[in-house]
Structure 1
Amino acid sequence: MTLVLALVVLALLLPWGAAPAARRLAGVLPPREACAVLTGAAVLLAGGTVAALAGLFHVPFLAHLEHLPVSRVAAAWPAALPVAGAAGVVLAAQSVVVVRRWREQRSVLARAWASTADAVPEGDLLVVPSDAPDAFALPALRRRGGRVVVTQGMLRALGPAEREVLLAHERAHLTGRHHLMSVAAHLAAGVHPALRGLRPALDFHLERWADEEACASSGDRRLAAAAIARAALAGASAAREGGSRRLLLSVSTGPVPQRVEALLGPRPVRPVARSARAAVAGLLTLVAVSALSAPALAYGLHEYVEFAAEAVRGR
């Protein structure tokens, strides 16, 4: 039973070390790879946490399958029922948080779509007749395909070439389905508190990914940097006022100065240094141990209950 408890502790504590490691690793990777690392770490670590808690919660159920009275399990392991009950409470709380976050996401999308009711469609664009400079990627909802939303105020604030950079940036969010990664990290953060820091980091790298796509489209890194800076500065007031849209990706998301500084430098490439490979291997090991500890926990609990059942039958 000591091994089982050790696996539980491992599954619940590993995210505290793996999440900072994922953020650090993402900082030395190109944006696309950084997003994959952060999203994968969030999903796997959250899944390992849920599986470990579910394994503990099912101890009484496993005893029932072995036709073993729960009282016998409690006699052999006095903490079994309290631990299973605590795991059930935590799972219920996690379910409530995740469902609330999912509903919040859908509500934000619905309100964002409603705000474009008077927009003028121009291909994949929705031009909103508003003087407030704003632009964001609006994911698909209820059979309506994703669109780039931009206000007339934002279009007037930028020159023709800068507009193309802005639109390419927002289109990159839609074609790359970046909102799915952002939502996955947002939901995972509701499972384990250690994962809360992954969402802001992921959103920053998603913006960097879109910045690089826009830069590749324009072919001019300085133009792209200037366009991103001007659009973010113009849309800063709309970003502050649009608190209900914080779950949507826009050109103003994340620390803009860092994004502009990155665009003024060379295009990022995948690192080949030994230290980078060691960091990747270390993170993958942490995440893999967290993810695999849950099945190992379930197997250990099952074997323990079977052993207890055989001991009872032998009496």
Structure 2
Amino acid sequence: MTYALLVVVLALAFPWGAAALARRLAGVLRPREACWTLTAAAVLLAGGTVAALVGLFHVPFLAGLEQLPLARVVEVWPAAVPVATVAGALLLTQLVLVVRRRLRHRSLLGRAWRAAGEGLGDGDLLVVPGREVDAYALPGHRGRPGRVVVTSGMMRALRDQEREVLLAHERAHLHGRHHLLSAVTDLAAMVHPALRSLREALVLHLERWADESAASAVGDRRVAAAAVARAALAGSARSQAPGYPLLSVTSGPVPQRVEALLLPEPAAPQGGVRRAGLALLAGTVVAAASAALALAYGLHEFVEYDARQLIGAGSPSGCSSLWSTLHALFGTGAS
């Protein structure tokens, strides 16, 4: 395997390690910062993966478009066509998965709004009659602003202060536009399987963010913990795992969330050593995506640049220049 192909393989494999580092970093940050870290890592790593595949896909095709004989490219890099074919197939698969996921998001949101149409409105609150125990933040849709949807069954299951926690929790989801972070990370997870772990981690930290907002709103962390636990115990099966775009107080690992609420409010990481560790972890995640993007840019530019040289020269010397560049990147001794 040539050096360049090894770099490509590392670029596509690196998200596994970078995702683990991002989860580790999120675990020592406050919920709000953790959510942005996970989302940013997902976007960077997904973008890097796509960029690396695009770079591979373009090598033989750019050469052909710029009048460099494909046989000449294959002479230097015999795997150019098979690798480009695999990269193209992966890109097409990613596109299909992302589009299907986005359509699923829209379908879920549309169904949720139709179901909420039976609710009675009071400001941003919709109370849906029925025995089902459920509550979730419903993002805006087709010009309609977001709403907090609560069933009458959920309202009956909670005490007065716990209802305040519930409403504050769901309003925190709406005001923080958590559904956008959830959607972006969910779509990024369709690009690379390693990013699914970031999506799962984000569920916890989004709920922790809303938990902390609700605890601050009512001024009592123990009441907030009791409300989360009671709502989860009383909630229906759907409310415990609503998924995007419905963010619910009963989502995520409830015992871990309750335990966190029974502890003091999380503070920013302290200590020079700890800050240095956080910076190193964050830098590693960014470096992973940057390396993949740089790789793709290089794969693209070396063909395009030398092709321009070929056209400008109008002679075989330009072709020789591009062939030399290909040979330097992928060759193993061809002449």
Which category of TM-score, normalised to the shorter sequence, fits these structures? over 0.9
Native 8 Å contact 1:129 1:152 kept in 2 = yes
Identify which range, 156-165 or 282-291, moves more after superposition: 282-291
Tell me, which stretches of 5 or more residues in structure 1 are unaligned? Answer: none
After TM superposition, give the deviation of residue 304 of structure 1 in Å. Answer: 5.5
Equivalent residue number for residue 176 of structure 1: 176
1:280 to 278, 281, 285: 278
Could you tell me which amino acid in structure 1 is paired with residue 296 of structure 2? Answer: A
Partner of 1:131: 131
- Distance in structure 2 (CA, Å) of the matches to 1:276 and 1:82: 46
Matched with 1:155 is: 155
1:275 is displaced (CA, Å) by 4.3
Alpha-carbon distance in 2 for matches of 1:7, 1:179 = 35
Tell me whether 1:22 sits opposite 2:22 in the alignment.
Answer: yes
**CA distance 1:6–1:286, change in 2 (3 Å):** farther
Distance in structure 1 (CA, Å) of the matches to 2:256 and 2:133: 22
Whole-Å Cα distance in 1 between the matches of residues 269 and 100 of structure 2?
39
Deviation per residue, 1:98-154 (Å, 9 max, x gap): 111111111111111111121111110111011111100001111111100001111
Deviation at 1:14, TM superposition (A): 1.1
Q: Would you say the 8 A contact 1:158–1:231 is kept in 2?
A: yes
- The SS at the match of 2:131 is coil
Q: Which amino acid is 1:273 matched to? A: G
Q: 2:243 maps to which residue? A: 246
Equivalent runs, 1:247-266 vs 2, <5 Å: 247=244, 248-266=246-264
From 255, 267, 270, the counterpart of 1:269:
267
> Would the aligned equivalents of 2:53 and 2:88 in 1 still touch at CA under 8 Å?
yes
- Which structure 2 segments of 5+ residues have no match? 311-316, 324-335
Instruction: Give, in angstroms, the shift of residue 21 of structure 1.
Output: 1.0
- Which is further off, 171-180 or 150-159? 150-159
How far residue 66 of structure 1 moved from its aligned partner, in angstroms, is 3.5
Q: CA deviation at 1:269?
A: 0.8
Identity, % of aligned positions: 61
Q: Which secondary structure does the structure 1 equivalent of 2:23 belong to?
A: helix
SS at match of 2:116: coil
CA displacement, residues 135-192 of structure 1 (integer Å, 9 cap, x when unaligned): 0000111111110000111111112211111000000000000011111111111100
The alignment status of 1:78 with 2:78, answered yes or no, reads yes
Q: Aligned residue for 1:233?
A: 233
- Cα distance in 2 for residues equivalent to 1:292 and 1:35: 21
After TM superposition, list the pairs within 5 Å mapping 1:14-93 onto structure 2.
Answer: 14-93=14-93
Q: Could you tell me which residue of structure 2 aligns to residue 289 of structure 1?
A: 287
- Please give the alpha-carbon distance, in whole angstroms, between the structure 2 residues aligned to 1:53 and 1:210: 37
Q: Distance in 2 between matches of 1:289 and 1:10?
A: 13
How does the TM-score come out when normalised to structure 1? 0.93
Question: What amino acid is the match of 1:116?
Answer: A
Aligned in 2, Cα 1:114/1:229: closer, same or farther, shift over 3 Å?
same
Alignment of 1:108-119 (within 5 A): 108-119=108-119
